[in-house]
A and B are shown apart, each in its own frame.
Chain A
C-alpha cells in the first residue's frame, strides 16, 4: 500500500499541541493515465512495423551440371510484360500464341491451377508436376515479379525459376502491345 500510517503511535492524553500531518497519499490517476497512453503508443508503433519477406533461391549458374531432359508439355512459361500484363504459354516458344492475362485470382492464378491440373492428369507420377519458367521483360516492374512469385506459393507450384527472356518472346510481347 502506498499509504503510510501517519497517525502516530500510542494514546497521548496530554494537551500537547501537535502539528497536523498531511496525508502521504498521492493521487495516482493522472500518472496511470499517462502511463497507459504511452503503453498504447509504444505497442502500436512496435507491432505494426515488422516487414515480411519472401524467400527466393536463384539457380547457381556458375557450375555446369548435366541437366535432366523435361517434357516440353510440362513447362509453362510466363512472360511479364508492361502495363501489368502477363502472357503465358505451354511448351516451346513460338509454337503457340501466348495467352494474355492479368495478375490476380481470375488471371494468372486460374491459369496456373488449370495448367497444373492438366499436367498432373496427362503425365505419370512422379514426374507429373508442372515446371514454371518466369521471364520478366525489361518493362515489367518489381511488383509484377513479386506478384508472380507470390502466385507460385499460393498455387503450390513446386518448381519454378526466373529465367532471362528470349528475343523471340520479347517480339511476342511487342506484337500484343505489352512491351
Chain B
C-alpha cells in the first residue's frame, strides 16, 4: 500500500498586499501630520468638558503666557507677509525681503515692534533661547496688539476674503486682568465671539 504523502506547505506568506496597505496608510498619516509648532508662550491650557474642536485654518490665536506675556499667531503665509509690511510702515521699521520671508514662516511670535528686527535675524536654532518679551497691550486704543490684530484681519479679508475666527489660549494660572486686557482689545474691534482653547478634562465628573 502506498503511503499517503502529506504535501508540505511553505510557511512563507506573501506579504505584498500587506506591505502595500501599510505604506498607503503610512503615506496618508505622514501627509496629514502637521509639524508641531514650538509654542513660545508655554501656556498650559485649563481643562474643560467641551468637545468642540477649533477650526484648523483661518484662525487668529492670542496666547497669554506666564507673566501675562501676549503672543500672536495667525494662519496664512501670505497674510503674515502682508501684515508685517503694513505694520513696518505703521511703526516706520523697514524689513528686508529675507526678514519678511522669515516672518511668513513664523507661526507664533511675541515681540514688541522695536525688537522685531532682532527677533527675525536670530537663526532658527537659537530662537529657543531668544527671550520674547510679549506684544505690548496697554490701555490705549492704538496699542501694538490691537494694531497687529486689525492689520492681520484686514490682510486676511483682502487676500482671502475671509474673516479670522479668534481663539484665546491662556495659561491656567494666569490672573484675570491679562485675560481682561485681551478681551477688551478684541471688544474695541467689535469682536465679541471667540473661542477659549482648553484641553479635554480627563474624566468629566458628574
Question: How distant is A123 from chain B, measured CB to nearest CB, in Å?
Answer: 27
Q: Mark A2-23, 1 if CB is under 8 A from B, else 0.
A: 1000000000000000000000
Q: Mark B178-198, 1 if CB is under 8 A from A, else 0.
A: 011001001100101111111
B197 to chain A: which residues have CB within 8 Å?
51-54
A55 vs B54: C-alpha distance when bound (angstroms): 10
Q: How large is the interface on A (under 10, 10 to 19, 20 to 34, 35 or more residues)?
A: 35 or more
- Residues of chain B touching chain A, judged by Cβ–Cβ distance below 8 Å, are 12, 14-16, 18-19, 22-23, 25-26, 29-30, 32-34, 36, 45-54, 64, 167, 169-177, 179-180, 183, 186-187, 190, 192-200, 204-206
A142 vs B169: C-alpha distance when bound (angstroms): 10
In the complex, which of the residues B29, B36, B180, B183 contacts A39, with contact meaning CB atoms closer than 8 Å? Answer: B29
Are B29 and A51 in contact (CB-based, < 8 A)?
no
Are A136 and B192 in contact (CB-based, < 8 A)?
no
Q: Write 12 A-B pairs (CB below 8 A) sorted by A numbering.
A: A25-B12, A32-B19, A39-B22, A51-B54, A54-B50, A54-B195, A55-B196, A136-B179, A137-B176, A141-B173, A142-B170, A153-B49
Q: Say yes or no for A29: interface residue by CB 8 A criterion.
A: yes
A46 vs B66: C-alpha distance when bound (angstroms): 27
**Surface stretch bound by B, among A56-64, A86-94, A125-133:** A56-64
- Residues of chain A touching chain B, judged by Cβ–Cβ distance below 8 Å, are 1-2, 25, 28-29, 31-32, 35-36, 38-39, 42-43, 45-46, 49-62, 80, 104-105, 136-147, 149-150, 153-154, 162
